[in-house]
Amino acid sequence: MNSLITVYVVATAPLWLTIVLPIVALLLGGAVGILVNAKLSQKKLGDAKQLANRMVEEAIAEAKTLRKEAILESKEEIHKQRLEFDKEIKDRRIEVQRTEQRILQKEESLDKKEESLDKKSEALDAARQELKKREDEIAEKKSQVDEAHQRMLAEIEKISGLSRDEAKRELIDAIEDEAKRDAAKLVREIEAAAKEDADKKSREIVSLAIQRCAVDHSSEITVSVVNLPGDDMKGRIIGREGRNIRALENATGIDLIIDDTPDTVVLSGFDPVRREVARISLEKLIADGRIHPARIEEIVEKTKRELETQMKEAGESAMFEAGVFGINAELIKVLGRLKYRTSYGQNVLKHSLEVAHLAGLMAAELGADVNIAKRGGLLHDIGKAVDHEVEGTHVTIGADLAKKYKESKDVIHCIAAHHNDIEPTTVEAILVQCADAISGAKPGARRESLDNYVKRLEKLESIANTFDGVEKSYAIQAGREVRIIVKPDKVDDGAAVFLAKEIAKQIEKEMEYPGQIKVNVIRETRSVEYAK
């Protein structure tokens, strides 16, 4: 409306009016706007006061409503709790009534049980009286039985002619004999089982050791033979008035036997080293051709030095072959002397090597100390190297040598115990014993004269024949077994077991032999009847 008026005025009025009129119009419009806004504000303020009053009134009314509702809800809650409390009291009254009823029932049950116990007590008293009466009757019958037993014993003693003590003694003797038979039977069964297991295991170990130890063996003799290029050499060896042969015997300590045997000179002596020195020296003299006392002494001394070197080398070679190290140098020289020593035709150094290998193999199988077993086996016969020079057995000499050259106690014990001069107390000593027996018992390992062989067989049979109940005895298997026939009426099966043990112990005590000897006791039972 104002814009239309302004436009209209501008179009019709002069220029100043055109400028003034808009300003006036603007001022009028602003005044009108202010008046309108003031009226509107007053109206809004009145409306707001009315709204606030209305909200206060509504809030007061709502608060009153909420209060009434809260009072109602609290009354309802109180009522509800009162109902629940009444119900709980009612339930408890019911539970109390039930409990009272149960108590009454239990009281009635106890009364009934008390009545029952009274009845049982009366019945028990009656039973006790009855039992007392029966005990009296049993006591009376027992006394009657005892009297009858005594009368019977007296009658039996009268009939048998034996007193009670004598009969008891005979019964005890019979029981003792039966117990001995049972014990012997049990011992036999246990020993059979143990021997079967032990023999099986020992056979496995020994066979394995023998199979793995294949040492060459050759029998040697105690004399040496030197072949000559001709019989004319015998005269040169003897020399003028026998001076050459005397010089050679004095230098070597060996006897020279020059007889009618063609082209042969025999060297005889107990010391194998000296015999070897004499043999080598004589062969060198024959090859050289210059045979006179001075040359003989020179050759013998040179040969001794060479042989000392050879013996040391032989000892070292044996030590390395056996796998044993750290032996004293002087003891190695003594060990090498065994190369020229024989025992029952068996070379002692080769035998010692074989014993070392066998003992080591068996020690490995049994978990024993292999080094001690090998060392003890290699040195067990070391005393034989000097037993012609030192008094005593080769066992004692060997143990003394081992002590002298600082060998261990276990090795010394193996040497000292290998022929049971002392009781072996270590596994290694027992293995050296076994290895020594195996090596010496090999076929062809040792030779013995016919007289010694026959004496050994006769000794076996004579030992067996000394025992009571032996009828006959036979040494068989080249003295490896003795079979004994016993009298069956004097020796029963149980006693045969003990007899075999006693004979074996006596053989071990009185005889020396390589390996082992089987004692076989045979008891024959014959049943004879005649048809008529």
Residue 531 forms part of a structural domain = no
Residues 472 and 434 in one domain: no
Q: Where are the alpha helices (DSSP H) in 422-531?
A: 427-441, 450-465, 493-510
Q: How far apart are CA 351 and CA 213, in angstroms?
A: 12
Residues 413 and 333 in one domain: yes
Residue 185 forms part of a structural domain = no
Domain of 490, CATH number, reads 3.30.300.20
Using CA atoms, how far residue 14 sits from 5, 7, 17, 27, in Å, is: 15, 13, 5, 20
- The vertex-306 CA angle with 304 and 312, nearest 5°, equals 100
223-227 sheet: strands from edge to edge: 223-227, 264-268, 255-257
If one counts the domains in the chain, the total is: 3
| Phi, psi (degrees; rounded to nearest 5) at 512 | -120, 130
Residues 119 and 241 in one domain: no
Residue 38 forms part of a structural domain = yes
Residues 123 and 62 in one domain: yes
Residues 422 and 327 in one domain: yes
Q: How far apart are CA 297 and CA 233, in angstroms?
A: 19
Residue 203 forms part of a structural domain = no
Residue 309 forms part of a structural domain = yes
What 3-state class would DSSP assign to 174?
A: helix
Residues 247 and 380 in one domain: yes
Q: Are 406 and 326 in contact (CB under 8 A)?
A: no
Residue 26 forms part of a structural domain = yes
| Sequence-ordered list of residues with C-beta below 8 angstroms from that of 427, at least 6 positions apart, any chain | 363, 366, 368
Q: How far apart are CA 338 and CA 383, in angstroms?
A: 9
Residues 458 and 431 in one domain: no
Using CA atoms, how far residue 107 sits from 110, 115, 157, 261, in Å, is: 5, 12, 72, 136
Residues 274 and 359 in one domain: yes
As a three-state string, the secondary structure of 39-59 is HHHHHHHHHHHHHHHHHHHHH
Q: Which of 143, 159, 175 is the last residue of a domain?
A: 159
Residue 391 DSSP class: S
Token couple for 223 = 């004399």
Give the side-chain half-sphere CA count within 13 A for 237.
30
Q: Are 428 and 410 in contact (CB under 8 A)?
A: yes
What is 70-112 written as a DSSP string? HHHHHHHHHHHHHHHHHHHHHHHHHHHHHHHHHHHHHHHHHHH
Q: Which domain holds residue 14?
A: 2-159
Residues 403 and 295 in one domain: yes
Residues 123 and 229 in one domain: no
Q: Are 410 and 369 in contact (CB under 8 A)?
A: yes
Q: How far apart are CA 38 and CA 107, in angstroms?
A: 102
**Residue 511 burial (CB count, 10 A):** 13
Residues 145 and 232 in one domain: no
Q: Which of 406, 441, 476 is the last residue of a domain?
A: 441
Give per-10-residue mean pLDDT for the chain (532 aa). 42 56 73 72 78 84 85 88 89 89 88 85 85 86 82 71 68 74 73 67 59 43 72 79 83 79 78 81 83 85 85 86 86 84 77 88 86 90 82 86 90 88 87 83 54 79 89 83 88 84 89 79 78 76
Q: What pTM does this model have? A: 0.46
Q: Which of 385, 413, 441 is the last residue of a domain?
A: 441
Residue 165 forms part of a structural domain = no
Residue 403 forms part of a structural domain = yes
What are the residues facing 520 on neighbouring strands? 483
pLDDT of residue 116: 85
Residues 240 and 119 in one domain: no
Domain of 301, CATH number, reads 1.10.3210
